[in-house]
Structure 1
């Protein structure tokens, strides 16, 4: 973030009377530009919006009103039920669900049964649902193919998700679903995290290894996913085959078996996406914190700031310091929950009450911290959108 951009954000917040910190600021012009860029990368395939990566309902709605976007990839059944009650359609829950209260509500609501599909990858999950719901309900489910890459039989590269690695395993479960009067097989999903979520920009050995990994994994997965879709397609007509993520569009769209893509992070442009070769989204979501202390001439302390990202602990999970640029975390403290000391040449120019701008490493997680997002466009704050939290919702 350049000085001029920080001044524009600070001035717009002041003019709107938004003086509280921390503050979330969404640059709507950058958000819209990212949506267009995702659509162009997707080619002819529709994009299902991953709500986990937004958790701001008005941002979700804005994406869905952009040509090329269709449907929501939810992260819990309770969230999908809430969105369904508000009129959202075509909701796929990306993770298996075991909450009996949510399952009962799903089964007992005709609209929810029509609009919501949940992911399964084992007979045990289906049997659990079967024990909970009334006998008359027919529920839509989708199967998840394990999309991780296995260079050897004992090494997995990618997310530990579904146990259905082999197309034959997927077919066996599909046959079980098709014979069960309770369930309707609606679709298939496979998320290649080792491609979609692994930065590969630059010329470092790590980047070169990442590019080779992505190439090999994409080729192997395309063959395996095609076989899986063909096998399952012999016993059920799949409404959708969902695949990919923000970082893998270029390889995923080459697979004829895939009917739709998923994306969410690419709309907000978090820091983990700063080093991709194929796509670098514009940073759109920022976090502002007040300077409240000066431990010494070269150090300032902001109130809060410790909004580290989920995943393996490391420096890349810390919020990126956007402005002023010449600041860094203290090695012994890092980003603290209540206070975060920052040191560097820029510290001497900061005064108490000044705003330091950070950017989260991941996308939707900051929405769990604050109740609203200040929406910036054309040098003004044009609105304030509630987060899920601001609407009284906390799903995970």
Structure 2
């Protein structure tokens, strides 16, 4: 992987230039379609449904088309697919990447998820694996007949989905789980079902379910190499720690994939970094400084484990929740400089955090982005699923 003893140093400024250009944020880099945004980012974080649309809208050249075009891609053309991926998290992927994601990360996660469900049911004295297999087959058949359905609609066809069992009996976190909730989640990580159109607006988290599109079964190691190559091409350079964190793989898997794609070592301020072959040379300068308002859990803000090159440590307490989820962020020329929120009356407000050090040009550009966001969001009210200190304060 080294390709020689002399490694080119890629500093923070160049990394921020790469980020702006490749993540479709720099001036003139806006995308034409949601598919172009997903392609540029590899995956759109989908735990909070609104994040998908807000992340797309921040990068479209014509953001007023965000909702209609994203719904077309997700629910009509199916060119984007919402499914479980890295770190057992829901993402929206380009459709052609679903087989790669399933083989590279989903298979291992799915095995753990199914084992956990069976173990929890056994501890609760619930029916065994053969019973669950019958319910699963019946559920998938019902979904095939309906095309799309909610969990409640599926339970009307397969009443055993309503069965409940006690989880973690006697523990402080004891709870009651419904078979439908746990089983549909397992089927999701196994690549058998995907989330379909929501019941409400684009901010709704109440989804219908649909059968997953057919995809070929790929070799795990080959799929991991393919996924890592794709991500490194848009997010490189990155450290081994970044790669391990983003993928959720073991370090041995990360190193195997780096070797398989012939990744090149470069020197970063944090230590050794990696880029894809041919990406070692300096990148062209961007068209000038740029501003962006990115949503909570945006894939750019959450893209790396080591973030000092774009996010000063002293700003983090205001922008993250206790679980490490980032809230809405304000960016200026490749750095996070503050946060934003939407108030109940629909106004989009923002604040530059102390120590960020921006001037009037930045503030004018950020306000222009806030106006752009207000215009396309319109009457919709967006509250992040994971609230952060600054977002709560600004939202009032």
TM-score range, shorter chain: under 0.3
TM-score by length of 2: 0.27
Which structure shows the bigger proportion of residues in strand conformation?
Answer: 1
TM-score by length of 1: 0.27
